[in-house]
Every structure is written in C-alpha cells, then in structure tokens.
Amino acid sequence: MKITSDDQKAILGLLEAGIAASTSKLVAISRTQWSVKTAALKAYATADDFAELGQPSQYFFGAYCSSPGRVFLSYFTSHSSAVMTQAFLASNRRSLQATPQMQEVAVAEVSNIVINAIAAALADRCGMAFILSAPKSVRGGRADIITAAFGALQPVGKIFSATITLSSQDIAADCTLMMMLDDLIVNFILNALDR
C-alpha cells in the first residue's frame, strides 16, 4: 500500500486527540505540565531504520503493548524514569527510592496508562477496538528498546511509524511515544477516516 503525504497528514491529525489524552495522563501522574516537543512520521519503517539510534545511547526504561498489526511503545530516559517513579509512588510511599527494579515496574504502569490513552482515542475515532497486550517492560539502549518492540509487530506488508516526544520543563523529564502500524491497520484507519 502506498501512503501519500495526505494520508500522513490525516493520520497525524488523528493522533492529535490521542497525544492530548496521553499528555493529560502524564500531567495527572506527575502533577506538572507536559507538552509536545517533536512529532515525526515514517511511512515505511524497517528494523534497520532504528540502528542509528544506538550510537551514542543513554539508558532508557519503557514498555510496549501490542496486538496484531500494531505496537505502541513508551520510553523514558533513566533520569525521567526515576522522576516519574517518584511521582507515581508519591501518593502512597513517599520515602521509597526509585531503584532500577522499581523504575521498571513503575514505568511499565505509567506506559500502560499513557499507551492505552492514545490507543483508546485512535480506536474511538476510527470506530474500532484496539485490544492490546499487557505491557512488556524493556530497558537498555534506545535502539534495543525500539528493536524489541518492532520485533513484536510481525507486520503484514510495510510499516508506518509515528514518534512523538513529550517533555515537562518543570521536572526536566521527557517521554517518547512510538506507534507502529502495518499496512492492514493503516488501510483500515484511512478507510475509517474517509467515512
């Protein structure tokens, strides 16, 4: 399937509601303001497209949820994941430190909340169900995290990807959201948008 520039604009427009919903969830968890820093679309992605992200690389914590033809990934730098872990735990356990094990669990929970907000907004707009897997925790270099999520996709045809970076200046934190969709799902979405 060929994805035109108009198709990409339509999908980006569709994503806006999901991004707003995800941002609202981050605001509620961290009690700070978040905004979109960057948004990038790639009509045809392969695993090799992510190799450039590996050098140099920080350490990241994240999680992804998948279902046939789609993967949603959310990841944070190690600093941002520590900040989000403290915020996530603040209501019940203020004295706990954000250890790597705790960060992995907390980031998976935060990612699950953020991912399902964007997936639900997309599903509502298209009149379709996005039943996603439980979040799968990932940590390490950015290329490793993205490659792991990409590997869960098992696409039919080519892949459309969208990457959105959110940031909070108040707590010097960032969150990257990625969505990967195969040709069948993209075709369904575009047909739904034409109705």
What does the alpha-carbon distance between residue 24 and residue 120 come to, in Å, rounded to a whole number? 13
Q: Residue 98 above 60 pLDDT?
A: no
Please say whether the beta carbons of 19 and 36 come within 8 A: yes
Percentage with pLDDT > 70 across the chain: 87
The CA-based dihedral angle spanning residues 110, 44, 9, 111, taken in that order and rounded to the nearest 10 degrees: 0
SS3 145: helix
Residue 59 has what pLDDT? 87
Percentage with pLDDT > 90 across the chain: 22
What element of type H or E holds 189?
helix 183-194
Domains of the chain, start order: 5-194 (3.40.1550.10)
